[in-house]
Amino acid sequence: MENKSTFARWLKITSVISKYFVFYKLGKRRKDIFGKRIRYACEELGPIFIKLGQILSTRYDILNNEDCAELQKLLDQVEPIPLQKVEEIIEKDFGKKYAAVFKTFNTTPLASASIAQVHRATLHDGKKVAVKIRRPEVSEHVESDIRVLKQVVAVASLFSPTLRHVDGKQVVSQLRDWMLIEMDFKQEVKNIKQMKSYLAHAAEHTDTSEEEANNLIIPDVYDEYCTENVIVMEYIDGVPLSKFETIKDNLDYDIMSAAKAIAMLTVRHWLTARNDEYIFHADPHPANLLILKHGKIALVDFGLIGRLSPEQTRHTADLFLAVYARNLERSIEYALAIPGVDYDKYSDKLRPDIKEYLRKTPTTGVGFWFMGFVRIFVKHKVPIPYDIILFGRQNAVGDGLISTILPGKTTIDIMGEELARALRKKITQNILDVDFSRLAYAVSEEVKNSPDRVVSILERLSKDPYAIVKDFHEATSKKYE
């Protein structure tokens, strides 16, 4: 039965691909742009393909802005769950009609995506809430499509050395794990609480003002109303970044300050926390970012969060600072430290590519900084940890979003102040970490033995500041010859 179902799915996928990408010029889709045809195909094929379309919607390095904008409709404008099904899910999970759970319930969803849709409602105590409802039978659809995708990748790998190298089957397995995590509403509730706690910790352990910390908002979640298929959280009155065009001329919304709100808290902690795990929103697409008035921004939908270990946090931050300073040797060192591979084995191979890469970084965003290394690693067959790929994707999404809503700007324009601050802090710490005792001892001996010579040194310094370097060299070389 399973083989029959898989074969039927193969036929369905082949039929849809043929309709939208092979014979489309013969039908009514002949005038549709590429992004629209991808969107229609993904909607017809279901959750896994909708998720793939969502990922493509933020790949501004692959598709043009018009195609990305079309695919972003998959983020919150998928065909909604019928109201009858919504009522059945609520009644099953709560054991009563939704009118007994909610004082008011807006039957038109605020957003509808591949895994769930969101409705606005009011609890009987008057709290305004957002109700997230999981699509029925979505897990079964995901499992069946994953089986087909694995077969597709196996065939494609026969013709693609690159796909063989990146291990396409593993990528599909990771996509499966990703979607299963996103479908686990109990885990998402934990993620929301963890992110809220983490950002509070980040604010406390960096020089972030209370006003800056309050500009980044995570909704509260109401545990007593959360079930296997329903999450009830605080309703936040904001405009999704995907609908930025509707507010771009409204002076009440300060998009630059909102973008900096994320940098001030999340980026600052990542760049300066030397011994902490770094937790980040791993799916920051435009529908998951709400722009609020007066420079505030809210993060929603925590189905997927990423984590860097303390060691990965240090190495990635050090890599960013080395790239920012355009230091070739340190960039190579920290890049290879991330996967923990043999420096001697790879450094000479990577050096020419990284040298050329650093030449381009001043005019690019941080997404390019990470994904540029990913491409170099793939070329030279350097293994890449999965969380680092997630982190790179997060930054690539940021590049695309900034270039769309702030034309002419890059993520470096947003993060530059934090990078400069972190670089200064790193330089200061490096100096403090140096043991100057040998040098101090040598100089003190000179002071003891020849106080007149010290006076002479100071006089020379007042006339020629660079002379002190020669004197230090002379003093130390005498003691350690």
Which tens digits make up the pLDDT trace of 55-78?
777 666 567 778 887 887 877 777
> Residue 480's pLDDT band (boundaries 50, 70, 90)?
very low
Across 127-141, 324-338, 452-466, least confident range: 452-466
Averaged pLDDT of the chain: 81
pLDDT for position 119: 95
pLDDT score of 84 more than 60: yes
pLDDT score of 460 more than 80: no
CB 120 within 8 Å of CB 235: yes
CB 426 within 8 Å of CB 433: no
pLDDT score of 198 more than 80: yes
> Residue 478's pLDDT band (boundaries 50, 70, 90)?
very low
Mean pLDDT within 48-55: 78
Assign 292 to helix, strand or coil: coil
Catalytic residue among 283, 318, 387, 399: 283
Q: Distance between CA 235 and CA 219 in Å, rounded?
A: 7
pLDDT for position 348: 95
Question: Alpha-carbon Rg of the chain, whole angstroms?
Answer: 27
pLDDT for position 247: 87
Q: Distance between CA 76 and CA 448 in Å, rounded?
A: 76
pLDDT for position 454: 66
pLDDT for position 283: 78
CB 150 within 8 Å of CB 172: yes
What are the pLDDT digits (tens) for 204-231?
Answer: 877 777 777 788 899 999 999 999 999 9
Per-residue b or e along 257-275, where b marks 16 or more CB atoms closer than 10 Å to that residue's CB: ebbbbbbbbbbbbbbbbee
pLDDT for position 479: 44
pLDDT for position 171: 66
Percentage with pLDDT > 90 across the chain: 25
pLDDT score of 477 more than 90: no
Mean pLDDT within 442-452: 72
Q: Is the dihedral of CA 55, 57, 61, 62 positive or negative?
A: positive
pLDDT for position 418: 78
pLDDT score of 347 more than 90: yes
> Residue 463's pLDDT band (boundaries 50, 70, 90)?
low
pLDDT for position 461: 59
pLDDT score of 342 more than 90: yes
What are the pLDDT digits (tens) for 257-297?
Answer: 887 777 777 787 888 777 788 898 887 777 888 999 988 98
**pTM summary value:** 0.75
Q: Which range has the top average pLDDT, 5-9, 339-343, 372-376, 429-433?
A: 339-343
Of 113 and 446, the one with more pLDDT: 113
> Residue 343's pLDDT band (boundaries 50, 70, 90)?
very high
DSSP state of 424: H
pLDDT for position 481: 43
Across 92-96, 183-187, 204-208, 321-325, least confident range: 204-208
Nearest to 368 by CA among 25, 54, 59, 4: 59
pLDDT for position 337: 94
Is 283 among the catalytic positions?
Answer: yes
CB 130 within 8 Å of CB 96: no
pLDDT score of 362 more than 80: yes
Look-up of token digits 């529908």: 287
> Residue 111's pLDDT band (boundaries 50, 70, 90)?
confident
pLDDT score of 404 more than 80: no
Q: Is the dihedral of CA 447, 449, 455, 459 positive or negative?
A: negative
Mean pLDDT within 133-137: 88
pLDDT score of 473 more than 60: no
Across 40-49, 52-61, 296-305, 360-369, least confident range: 52-61
- Tell me how far the alpha carbon of residue 451 is from its chain's centroid: 60
**Distance from first CA to last CA of the chain, Å, rounded?**
84
pLDDT for position 166: 53
Mean pLDDT within 47-53: 78
pLDDT for position 464: 60
> Residue 85's pLDDT band (boundaries 50, 70, 90)?
very high
Mean pLDDT within 347-353: 95
Structure tokens at 422: 């972190």
